[in-house]
Structure 1
Amino acid sequence: MKSYRDLSPSLRTIMTPGPVEVDPRVLRAMSYPILGQFDPEFTELMNETMEMLRDLFQTKNQWCFPIDGTSRSGIEAVLVSVIEPGDKVLVPIYGRFGNLLVEISERCGAEVIMLERDWGAVFDPEEIIEAIHRDKPQIVAMVHGETSTGCIQPFDGIGAACRETDALLVVDAVATIGGVAVETDAWQLDAVIGGTQKCLSVPSGMAPITYNERVEAKVLRRKTIERGLREKGAEAKPGKTVASNYFDLGQLQDYWSPKRLNHHTEATSMLYALREGLRIVLQERLEERFARHRRHEAALVAGLCAMGLSLYGDPDCKLPVVTCIRIPNGVDGESVRAMLLNSFGIEIASSFGPLKGQIWRIGTMGFSCNQKNVLHVLGALEAVLLWHGVDISAGKALQAALAFYARKGEELPC
C-alpha cells in the first residue's frame, strides 16, 4: 500500500487579491467540535452570524446569510433566483468579473445588455443611469471592486435610478466587503454578494449575501408558482420557477428562518470560521479597518513608486485593496513570481485576459494587510528585480515605505 507523507503546507506570505492569509483565531475556530445543524446551540450561532452580517453589509435587511460554496456560489444563487428567461439584465463591464455576470445571466435565459469600458478605468455613474432609463432592465448586475484591473466602481445615484425604473440592483462586492465601505442601504443596493477569502480573511468556502424585500418579493412569487404547480401535480414551468434547487433563495431563506426547514446540511466548521471572522472585523470596527487597508496600500504604493515601477490603471478609481503594477519591458513576469515564491515564500498574482503578462497584482487584504508583509514584499521584489537585471532605484523602496509609516498618513504618494 502506498504511503503518503504527513500534510504540512508551507508557510507563505500571501499578497494576492485572494485568497489571503487566515487569522489564527479563525483557524482555531475551525477546529472546534461539530454540532448538529438543528442543535439549539448551533442555530444560535447561525442567528449571531446573521446579526453580524447586517453590521458588515451596513443594512437592516432581514436576509443576511452565507451560501455554502465559494464566492461564485453566492453570485449564482442571487442571479438564478431573480432572473427569469426574457428578463433584461444590464451589466456594465470593466474587467473579468463583469463577464462572469454576463455568463451566468445568459445561462438563466436573460437578454443581456452590456456596457463596456476599457480595462483600467470605470464608468461615470451617469453613463449607467442613462442606460437604466433608456433600456429599462429588470436587473442591473455590477461589480464593485474588480480584482482583475484593480479598479473600484462608484455607485452615486445608480441605486436611485433602479428604484425609479423598478429594476433590481445586484452587486458583486466579493473583493471589497470587509476592506472597503459597502453601504447597502445608503446606496440602495437590492442584493449584495460578498466573499470570505479576501478582506474577511476566512478560508474560501462561503459566500455571505444580503438582499432586501424587493428581491424577496420576486423570490416568493416564483416560490408560490412552484408550490402551486407541485400541488396540482404539474411539471415546473421553466422560467417561472428557480432552475436550481441548491441555489434557490426561497428554500435557503426558509432554512435560515426560525422555521429551519431542512434544505442542506450546513457547513459547520465553515460557519464557525465565518462567525469568528465577522467577530474580528466588527471588533476592529469598520471605519478603522477601512483606514488600515488604505494605510498599508499607500505604504506599498510609496515603495513601488520609489523603486521606479509604474502602476496600472486610472489612479482616480484605484481599488484600495489591490495594486496593479506594470511589468517592466523585457522582464519575464512569471520568473519574477516564481523567485518571490521559492526564495522568499511570497506569493503575488499575475493577470489574465488582455492583461496577461502585462501586470502583477498585489493584494493588501484582511489579515495579510499589515506593515510586516508590505515591507517584506517590497524588499523581496527589489532583490528579485535586481537579480533579473531590471534598472530600478535600489534601496529606496523600503525607505519610502518606512517614511510613510513614520508620517502615519493614508494618502497615496503617487
Structure 2
Amino acid sequence: MENQLQICGPACLLRPVRVPSKLLLGPGPSNVSERVLRSMTSPMLGHLHPEFLKIMDDVKEGLKYLFQTEAQNVFCISGTGHAGMDSVMMNILEERDVILIAKNGIWGDRAADMAQRQGAVVRIIEKKPGEAFTPEEIEESLQKFRPKAFFIVHVESSTGVLQPLQEIGSICRKRVISDRRQPPRTFYFDYSHLANYWGCDNVARREGLAQLVEEGLKESWSRHKECADLLHRGIESLSLKLFVENLVWRAPTVTTIVVPQGINWKEASEHLMNKYKVEISGGLGPTAGKVWRIGLLGENCTKGNVEFVLRLLSDYLSNKDFYKSKL
C-alpha cells in the first residue's frame, strides 16, 4: 500500500520569518527586558528536575510579594486573562448561584457571559464608561441582591478607569463563599486539582518577578504614577481631552484619549506604526472608535517613552486642521 501524504508541507514554513522590533505602547502586550528575552532561550527541563522545582518555588514567592499575600496556595494559570476569569467562574459558580457584576466597560460584559455559561443568575450594576463605583453603591447592591460572588474590575482597560478597591475589599470580607455542592465542570482549571500539578516553571516569569523585587513594589508603583502624570499633562498640552475626567479614577497603566472630531483614530495609529514602529491602540467595547489607548506597562513605563510618543502625536496633529485651529 502506498504511503502517500494527503497534505503537503506548507511552503510558507520553508521561508524564514523576520519579526521586526516595535515599541508596544498599547494596553498590552508590552515589550519586555533583554534579561527576560534571554531567559526564554534557557535549556528545557524535566518536570521532576530539581532546577524545575526551584524555579517553581521562586515564582510562587515572587507572586506572594507581587500580590502582598501570605496565602500558601498561589498559582499561575497557563492561559490568557480570559482563561483566568473563566477559571474563577468555573470554580466558584454553580447552577442558579447569584453573582453580582459591576460593569463599567467591556470586561463586565465578558464576565457576565462567562457566568451565564455556568448557569448562574447574573445581576448587574452599571456605571457610564469612564466612571468608577463608590463603596456605598457596592454595599447597597450586595445587601439588595445577596450574591454568592461579586465581580469588579480593578483596571478597566477598555476605558482607562482605575477602580479603588480598599473599602470594597473590607465590605466583601464581611461575607464568605460557601463550599461547592458539586465539583467544577472542568478538569484543567479545577483549583483543587491545580494544586497537585501546576507548572509555573517559566524562567522568563521568574526573571520578570526578580526584576520587580530588585526595583521594589512601591518604587514600581511610583514610576508608573509619575510617568502617567507626565503623559496626562502632555496630552492636555496638545489640546487633547482625557476620556476619564476624574483624576482619582485615571489608571496609571492605560490612558484613554478622546479622538478629536475630524481626526481618524485608525489613520493616526497606522501612521505611528508604519513610520515609527510605535503601537498605540484604538478603543474597545464602549470606547471603540472614540479613543486612543496608550499603555505604560512594566519595561515600557519610562519618561523617555512618554516624551517620545507625545512628540509623535504632536507631529501628526500639527498637519491637521483641528490642531491648527488651537494654535
TM-score by length of 2: 0.92
* 1:5-404 superposed matches below 5 A: 5-166=15-176, 168=177, 218=179, 240-256=182-198, 266=199, 268=201, 271-315=202-246, 316-391=248-323
Kindly tell me: are residues 29 and 253 of structure 1, through their superposed partners in 2, closer, same or farther at Cα, counting changes over 3 Å? same
> Using the alignment, how far apart are the partners of 1:372 and 1:33 within structure 2?
34
Work out the CA distance in 1 between the residues paired with 2:94 and 2:135.
26
Question: 1:133 touches 1:165 (CA, 8 Å); kept in 2?
Answer: no
Distance 1:35 1:20 in 2: 27
C-alpha offsets along residues 79-116 of structure 1, whole Å, 9 cap, x if unaligned? 21111111110110011111111111111111111001
Corresponding residue of 1:214: none
Q: Identity, % of aligned pairs?
A: 34
- Work out whether residues 382 and 394 of structure 1, in 8 Å CA contact, stay in contact via their aligned partners in 2: no
- TM-score by length of structure 1 reads 0.73
Structure 2 unaligned residues grouped into runs of 5+: 1-8
Aligned 8 A contact 1:120 1:313 in 2: yes
Structure 1 CA distance, aligned partners of 2:141 and 2:254?
A: 29
Query: CA offset at residue 138 of structure 1?
Result: 0.7
Aligned partners of 2:286 and 2:110: how far apart in 1? 15
CA contact (8 A) 2:281 2:292 kept: yes
8 Å CA contact 1:102–1:112 kept in 2: the answer is: yes
1-structure distance, mates of 2:322, 2:279:
20
Shift of 1:354: 2.9
Q: Distance in 1 between matches of 2:65 and 2:86?
A: 23
Q: What do the CA deviations read for 1:205-264 (whole angstroms, capped 9, x no partner)?
A: xxxxxxxxxxxx83xx56xxxxxxxxxxxxxxxxx12111111111101224xxxxxxxx
CA distance in 2, matches of 1:22, 1:352: 24
Question: Residue 76 of structure 2 contacts residue 200 of structure 2 at CA under 8 Å; is this kept in 1?
Answer: no
**Amino acid in structure 2 at the alignment position of 1:373:** N
Partner Cα separation in structure 2 for residue 344 and residue 374 of structure 1 = 14
Q: What is the CA deviation profile of residues 190-219 of structure 1, one whole-angstrom value per residue up to 9, with x for unaligned ones? A: xxxxxxxxxxxxxxxxxxxxxxxxxxx83x
Give RMSD over aligned pairs. Answer: 1.9
Aligned positions, number:
316
* Cα 1:394–1:46 shift into 2, 3 Å: farther
Task: Provide Cα deviations, 1:325-348, integer angstroms capped at 9, x if missing partner.
Answer: 111111111111110100111100
Q: How far 1:394 moved relative to its partner?
A: 9.2
Q: Secondary structure of the residue that 2:292 maps to in structure 1? A: strand
Unaligned runs of 5+ residues in structure 1 are: 169-216, 223-239, 257-265, 396-414
* AA matched with 1:161: I
The range that moved more, 346-355 or 13-22, is 346-355
Give distance in 2, aligned partners of 1:82 and 1:297.
35
2:3 alignment counterpart = none
Deviation (angstroms), 1:319: 0.7
Aligned AA (1:314) = E
What SS does the corresponding residue of 1:66 show, helix, strand or coil?
A: coil
Letter in 2 for 1:360: W
In the TM superposition, residue 393 of structure 1 has moved relative to its aligned partner by: 8.8
Query: Deviation at 1:352?
Result: 2.5
Give 4+ residue runs of structure 1 displaced > 6 Å after superposition: none
Quote how far apart the aligned CAs of 1:392 are.
5.2
Instruction: Return the offset for 1:77.
Output: 1.4
